[in-house]
Amino acid sequence: MGESSRIAGQDSLRADARRNRRRILSAARVVFAEHGIDAPMATVARRAGVGVATLYRRFPTRDALVRAAFAHQMDICARTLTEALADPDPWQGFQRLVETVCELQRAERGFPAAFVAAFPDSTREHARVREQTERDFMTLVRRAQAAGALRADFHPSDFAVALLSHCGLVTALPGDRAASRRLVAYLLQSFRAEAAHGALPAPSALSLRSLPLAAHGSQGQRPSSA
């Protein structure tokens, strides 16, 4: 598993509190899927059969709730990257990474919104994990390029470009799996070395830091900072 249970979190809770926590998370996923990530907190609480105060005590901000609700998906992302690095065929790993993340985006309706929401690094530990993830991804890219499978002018930020645009697509067309798959197929094709025909415009200066690949914490409890 990934980055769960940190900082004396849910384990030290009383039994009923732990049960309520789980209920809240489950309800949050459902509600976020139905009404988007901006759904009223009270709706989540009602759905969980819990008072608003309980919800706010456990997750002081909406961010905290969102992060915790989709922590599982984020863990899967991180694990897929690890597996991709272990794959003897680097292109295979790269391709699977893109496909898996996009699959997650299209499967869990609220996830895309959570995906683009910018979460500040809450702890030093998170920052460390994120940096390691970035390094791992760079390694994967270089390896795939060295193997002659990934085009030489592919820039790491292109990965973010792909994910963010796919994210926008599934947000605009929730439920249209065909459209999502099409985009992924087109993008993967144009990332292949054989596809490199003309020159590309300059890459974005965007870093990967804001993508949940970098496994943000699942707990919350940050000061506030809007």
Partner DNA sequence: TGGCAACCGGACGAGATCGTCCACTTGACC
Partner DNA sequence: GGTCAAGTGGACGATCTCGTCCGGTTGCCA
CB of 3 to DNA, least distance (A): 22
Is 9 a residue that touches DNA (CB under 7 A)? no
Residue from 30, 161, 193, 208 in contact with a second copy (CB under 8 A):
161
Site string for DNA, 14-43 (x = CB under 7 A): xxxx-xx-----------------x-xxx-
Question: Which residues 6+ apart lie within 8 Å of 24 measured at CB?
Answer: 44, 45, 48, 50, 54, 55, 58, 59, 65
- Which one of 42, 83, 203, 207 is in contact with a second copy (CB under 8 A)? 203
In the complex, the smallest distance separating the C-beta of residue 119 from a second copy, rounded to whole angstroms, is: 14
Helix axes 15-35, 41-48, angle to 10 degrees: 130
**How far apart are alpha carbons 136 and 128 in whole angstroms?**
12
Could you say which of 47, 62, 79, 181 contacts DNA (CB under 7 A)?
62
Nearest-approach distance from CB 177 to DNA, in angstroms: 29
Q: Answer yes or no whether residue 226 interacts with a second copy by CB under 8 A.
A: no
- Sole binder of DNA in the list 26, 61, 139, 190 (CB under 7 A): 61
Least gap, CB of 13 to DNA (angstroms): 4
Dihedral Cα 134, 138, 141, 144, nearest 10 deg: -120
Q: Helical H runs in the chain?
A: 15-35, 41-48, 52-58, 62-69, 71-86, 90-107, 111-116, 124-146, 156-172, 177-191
Q: Categorise residue 60: left if φ over 0, alpha if ψ from -120 to 50, beta otherwise.
A: alpha
Give 135 or 182: the residue with its C-beta nearer to a second copy. 182
Residues that bind DNA (CB under 7 A): 13-17, 19-20, 38, 40-42, 49-54, 56-58, 60-62
